[in-house]
Copies of this chain bind each other. A is one copy, B any other.
């Protein structure tokens, strides 16, 4: 039984009158601030409950905090990001903070619009996931509002970072494939030209990790990188190119699971089987990698922990605005599934997956 139309919102003034105290007192109770006796707190709490009062965050922001954390995800379609988000929301569960997401931002322009919108709405802190903006812009943002940058390497004195070790992840995968007996291991990367991004973006580091690992295994001669994009289409095109090689690779390390999907499609079209004729691996261990009909070998990034750490750092920075910046680097793990196996003509061994039939 709601009133026909809310005539007026319950305000701090109503609570103060009801509890027969000052608005200051109510404010203090709301913020658990120093300077209110237990009796006063109890009184105020009762009044709050009786009136069903909720503080108006929009107004709080004008003087203090809005208790809102803004999270910018570059692409809501990427099934890896929800994991990060869970890590974020779980840690914020029992706090007064609320998370709001900026919608899919592709490119610097959209990214700027969203971050500005968040700043203009008085958010107390920002988590930027894999932003593409130049570092100078990130530092500007961080100078205005506490900021944690996730999934982008490179330090900054003004913002904290949480990353997963992409070089190590690539090495895990290359090691896995080499352990199965593969030598001709190709990689499909997301094309990158901007020098800062080459140094800081995960995709570039995966490619670098691939190269390092290949060299470390004495397979420097076999290094074979195709530059497309982290999309299904990019994987399809990259695989087409690799399949056209005079001597085609026996394994493909796609820089992301979605890329691997395109590879699987191209391989099937070519009448080849996975992993019989060719092993395929992805990165991110997204939800569909685990789907029965796909069962893609991938690298897991512990998204939940990434999100958890990001919020932890953010809350710390909100509390202490100019503490030295922190970099957290987490370690990925390998998730072998059925798309990787020893190369054709090589006997099975302990590390191999179960064979699967041609997919088409």
Residues of A within 8 A of B (CB): 2-6, 54-59, 61-62, 66, 68, 70-71, 76-77, 79, 81-82, 85-86, 88-89, 98-104, 113-114, 116-117, 120-122, 136, 139-140, 143-144, 232, 261-262, 264-265, 268-269, 287-288, 291-294, 356-360
A291 to B120 alpha-carbon distance, docked (Å): 40
A291 to B3 alpha-carbon distance, docked (Å): 50
Q: Which 6 A/B pairs are nearest by Cβ-Cβ distance?
A: A265-B292, A58-B122, A101-B101, A98-B117, A100-B100, A57-B120
Is B77 touching A76 in the complex (CB atoms < 8 A)? Answer: no
Identical subunits present: 2
Q: State the Cβ distance, A306 to closest chain B Cβ, in Å.
A: 15
Q: State the Cβ distance, A10 to closest chain B Cβ, in Å.
A: 12
Taking a contact as CB atoms closer than 8 A, the residue among B58, B62, B77, B139 that contacts A82 in the complex is B77
Closest B residue to A118 by beta carbon equals B100
If the complex has contacts A85-B103, A86-B104, A268-B293, are A56 and B122 also in contact, measured as CB distance less than 8 A? Answer: yes
Is B291 touching A265 in the complex (CB atoms < 8 A)? Answer: yes
Taking a contact as CB atoms closer than 8 A, the residue among B68, B139, B356 that contacts A2 in the complex is B139
Q: State the Cβ distance, A309 to closest chain B Cβ, in Å.
A: 17
A99 to B360 alpha-carbon distance, docked (Å): 42
Q: Which residues on B sit within 8 Å (CB–CB) of A57?
A: 117, 120-122
Q: Which residues on B sit within 8 Å (CB–CB) of A6?
A: 143-144
A148 to B356 alpha-carbon distance, docked (Å): 47
Known A98-B117, A264-B292; further 12 A-B contacts with Cβ < 8 A: A4-B143, A5-B143, A56-B122, A58-B62, A62-B62, A66-B121, A70-B100, A85-B104, A89-B104, A121-B121, A261-B291, A293-B293
Q: Which residues on B sit within 8 Å (CB–CB) of A85?
A: 76, 103-104
Q: State the Cβ distance, A159 to closest chain B Cβ, in Å.
A: 13
Is B294 touching A291 in the complex (CB atoms < 8 A)? Answer: yes
Closest B residue to A117 by beta carbon equals B98
Q: State the Cβ distance, A113 to closest chain B Cβ, in Å.
A: 8
A89 to B114 alpha-carbon distance, docked (Å): 12
Closest B residue to A143 by beta carbon equals B5
Is A360 touching B357 in the complex (CB atoms < 8 A)? Answer: yes
Is A82 touching B104 in the complex (CB atoms < 8 A)? Answer: yes
Q: Which residues on B sit within 8 Å (CB–CB) of A291?
A: 232, 261, 264-265, 288, 294
Q: Which residues on B sit within 8 Å (CB–CB) of A82?
A: 76-77, 104
If the complex has contacts A2-B139, A2-B143, A104-B82, are A264 and B287 also in contact, measured as CB distance less than 8 A? Answer: no
Q: Which residues on B sit within 8 Å (CB–CB) of A143?
A: 2-6
Closest B residue to A288 by beta carbon equals B288
A88 to B103 alpha-carbon distance, docked (Å): 10
A3 to B139 alpha-carbon distance, docked (Å): 11
Q: Which residues on B sit within 8 Å (CB–CB) of A3?
A: 143
Closest B residue to A62 by beta carbon equals B59
Taking a contact as CB atoms closer than 8 A, the residue among B70, B121, B122, B359 that contacts A292 in the complex is B359
A140 to B56 alpha-carbon distance, docked (Å): 17
Q: Which residues on B sit within 8 Å (CB–CB) of A268?
A: 292-293
Is A89 touching B103 in the complex (CB atoms < 8 A)? Answer: yes
Q: Which residues on B sit within 8 Å (CB–CB) of A262?
A: 292
Is A77 touching B4 in the complex (CB atoms < 8 A)? Answer: no
Q: Which residues on B sit within 8 Å (CB–CB) of A79?
A: 77, 79
Q: Which residues on B sit within 8 Å (CB–CB) of A269?
A: 292
